Amino acid sequence: MKNQVTITANKEGQVFVSTGISAKDGKEYGYVRLESKWLDMSGPIAQVRSLSALKTFSREAFDMSELKAGDKLDGQIVIKESTIKNPFRANQQPKIQPKNPSVAGDVDKLLLFNGAPIYRETEFTTDMSVENILIRHTSVQPIQQTADVKLNS
């Protein structure tokens, strides 16, 4: 089976969303949203699941690509979890805002690993050998108590 992701537009119909001009090289950068949907048959009721990721582009590379909403790209979206905020994008230009810590399904519970919040990011790759990096949480804490949890910056 061939893995593909779909290019999606935002509510305003934009495929390329600019994040501004880089002071380092003077180029305009932004991102494109990619989405993967699949049929999850693991439970008693089959469900459609989706996963999305943002891919950074320079304006020049995006214009050259001629990508538009609905286009399909070969590849996959992988999940990367860490107890350090934004560790997988440390050397990227421009920096995309770090994600909030992962929460349990009912959004009022923070997932922790040995007392530290778990951060989740998604990434598009054409390398089909890349696997998800997942951390099994060791505890769940109500978000109201997060002042007691040391959030990495």
Range of the domain at 64: 4-148
> Which residues, 6 or more positions from 78, have their beta carbon under 8 angstroms from its beta carbon?
122, 123, 125, 130, 131, 132, 133
**60 or 100, which is more confident:** 60
The model's pLDDT over 6-59, given as tens digits with 9 standing for 90+, comes to 999 999 999 999 999 999 999 999 999 999 998 989 989 999 999 999 999 999
Residue 10 C-alpha from the chain's centroid: 15
Q: Is residue 72 part of a domain?
A: yes
End-to-end CA distance of the chain: 40
Assigned domain for 119 exists: yes
- Dump pLDDT digits (tens) for 70-128: 999 999 999 998 888 765 554 454 444 445 666 555 556 778 888 888 888 899 999 99
Number of domains in the chain: 1
Rounded to two decimals, the pTM is 0.73
